[in-house]
Structures are given as C-alpha cells and as structure tokens.
A = this chain, B = another copy of it.
Amino acid sequence: MPVAYQAPDFLHPVAGVRLGVAEAAIKKPGRKDLLVIELAPGTRVAGVFTQNRFAAAPVQVCRTVLASGAPVRALVVNSGNANAATGQGGLDDAQAVAAAVAAAVGCEAGHVLPFSTGVIGQRLPVARMVAAAPAAHADLRADGWLDAMRAIMTTDTVGKGATRRVATSQGEVTVTGIAKGVGMIHPNMATMLAYVGTDAPLSPATTQAALQTAVNRSFNCVTVDGDTSTNDACVLFATARAGSRDIEVGDADYAAVYGAIEQVCLELAHAIVRDGEGATKFVTIDVGGASDEAAARQVALSVAHSPLVKTALFASDANWGRIVMAIGKSGVPVDPARVDLWLDDVCLLRGGQPHPDYVEDAGAAVVAQPEFRIRIGLGDGDAQATVWTCDFSYDYVKINAEYRT
C-alpha cells in the first residue's frame, strides 16, 4: 500500500505522441508487457541514464542513438526482463527489438530507443517481442498513457502518472509523464524508468537542459534504499506541436513550461517513494544553513540513507540520536555546536544540544504521522536542499529477501 498515493485515472494526451501496448509474454503470459511510444517527426528527445558501470544493453543503445543526433521516432519498453549483464548478445537483442518497432512505425532501426526493466542476466525472448511489435503498433492511441503506465510496472503496487497544462504566449501546453519504480533502483526488476512528454516547442538544447535540471530536483532527490540500478532512464520528448517558435532557456515562456515539467517529475518521484518497498512513511528531509547546496544535499542523503534512522522512523520513534549520528557521519565538516533539529515544528536540538523545552511525546506525535518533515539547520551559510525518503520496515526485508523465491 503506497503512502497516500493513488494511480491517476486521467492523463492529458500530448499532441504528437501516440502509445500502444501488447502482450509479449516476456516473464509470463497474461499481461501487456510491451509498450511502444510513437513520436511525431521533429520531436526533440533528451535522456538521462544510470551512472551504474553495469549499464544494461538498452541503456547502451539509447546512449549511442542520442549521441548520434539521429531523429528519434519511437521508444519501445518492456517489463519482465532487464537485458542487463547479457554481453554482446544483449546488445543484439535490444537492436533486434528496436528494428521490429522501426519496421512497424516506418523509420530506421537507429531511430528507435529501447528500454528494459526486470530480471538481470537473462536474454530477452526476442522472437516473442518481435512478433508482438505489430500489435503494439496497431494499438497506438493518443489516449494510451494509462495503459502505457500499467505496461511498465513490475513490483509497483500502483501505476504512477502526472499531468499538467500551462499557458504560454503560443497557447496552452501539455506535460504528461509516467514512471515505474519502487526501490530507488533495483537490479532485478524495479529500477526506475520515467517518460515525460510535452507538446511545447522546446529547442533540442532546451529539452536536454530542462530534463537535466528537472531530474536533479526530483528523481535525484528521492531515495528508497540508496541502490542504483543498471537500467535507470528518464526521457523527455518535446513534440513542438504547441507553437511554431522554439523556446530557449531564458525565454519568457520557459519558466512556465519548465515549471510544469518539474512538477510532473516531482510528482512521479514522490510517487516512487510513496510506493517504496515496504514504505509506511513519506518523509521530507530539509537541510538549511549549509555552506553550499552540495553540502546540504550530502547531509540530507546521509540521513535519508541511514538504516538506523529509517528503522526508527518505521517504529514511529523520534530517535534524534540517530539523526545526529547520520549528520555527523555525512562527511560534511559540520560544527555540532551550531546544529538545530526539528521534527515538523517541534525543536529537538538547538546548537547541538537537547532543547530544554523538548518533551519526548511531542516528537513522538510528529513521527507517528504517515507524512512529516525532518528539518536540520547547520548554521554555516544560506544554502539548502530537500530530499524525500521512506522508512525501512519488515516488509522491505521480506520483499527483497523473497523476491526470487
């Protein structure tokens, strides 16, 4: 059960984007596990990918296609198999699937981006996927977003989607996105995938810049377990159907369009944490008073990753000693005598020492809530950062211990 999150029941179509799904029985029969996203000619596509050195075969293919500057006409995504640690055979498989989709769409194989999510170290059932590609193509619809959202799920307990409309000087612009993921990243299955489309006429360079900034402020600010998958990918495509003049960073319309993109990414990123494996709490960690944003972020992530903090949150225990420990081990040269700590509006520490008015019941009341905020002041500057995370429960261990059994 995700923490206060429900799958959307409506997502705005994006002019120039059609989506279709089909059953390829990749892990097992009985579900639509192959997704094709067709993009109108002229669509600008940007991607960010996992930093894991064991990048999966489809990630390697995507990087090559995007680096070539080739016009991307379609994406193909499968759940049930990650096509990672599969060597040259895996690269061949990813290209064969892309070629089948290219044939259906009517473009070159090098103009299709492949994505996979699922178990590591097994070859894709290429024949079944190639055979299913025409069916996915035949299913293409502008209103296919909700089915697409479901097709990419693995152990997600809910589909994750977000949608926004904003006004620009060239008319209304739509931004719609879908994502999957339940551990921050899972080598076998979960891993994060996100696809965000807009009809805004973002220039190619602006599409990349907007994606990078939005990812840094959303997907890169959430953590479930600190692990990093072999398959992570986030793609932004701008079909440029809503306007004839390209929007560049700094243009009057950019702020509105970028704002919608960031909101969609943030909503999807939060949905991943809310649906985090075994999560019972959604926790916002705000670090302020830092010398720079990187230091603030490093402290926030140290708290967010600490198993001792996360197990205390699960127990609704306002165990601030563990938070202090995690601040102190972050690697940032924090001065303990300047550190303040709050749970929501309850002050626990002032200048590194227990606040004289603090009573345990007040802290316990905050952390008993399904959502709350840990606020940390470092007293060392003006920079701040925010990170979102969940707790660490019996069910996290259960889900991950029993995944393959």
Contact = CB atoms under 8 A, between A and B. Distances in A.
Given A311-B401, A352-B54, A394-B398, A325 B120 contact: yes
Nearest to A351: B87
Given A312-B401, A321-B85, A326-B227, A354 B53 contact: no
Interface string A210-251: 000000000000000111111000000000000000000000
B85 A336 contact: yes
Contacts of A185: 325
Contacts of A321: 82, 84-85, 119-121, 187-188, 230
A68 interface: no
A397 interface: yes
A254 interface: no
A325 B335 CA distance: 35
B325 A229 contact: yes
Interface of A: 51-55, 82, 84-87, 119-121, 183, 185-188, 225-230, 306-308, 311-312, 314-315, 317, 319-322, 324-330, 332-337, 349, 351-354, 392-394, 396-398, 400-405
A170 B129 CA distance: 76
Contacts of A320: 120-121
A228 B404 contact: no
Please give me the 4 A-B residue pairs with the lowest Cβ-Cβ distance, nearest first. A120-B321, A187-B325, A54-B328, A315-B401
B401 A336 contact: no
A400 B311 contact: yes
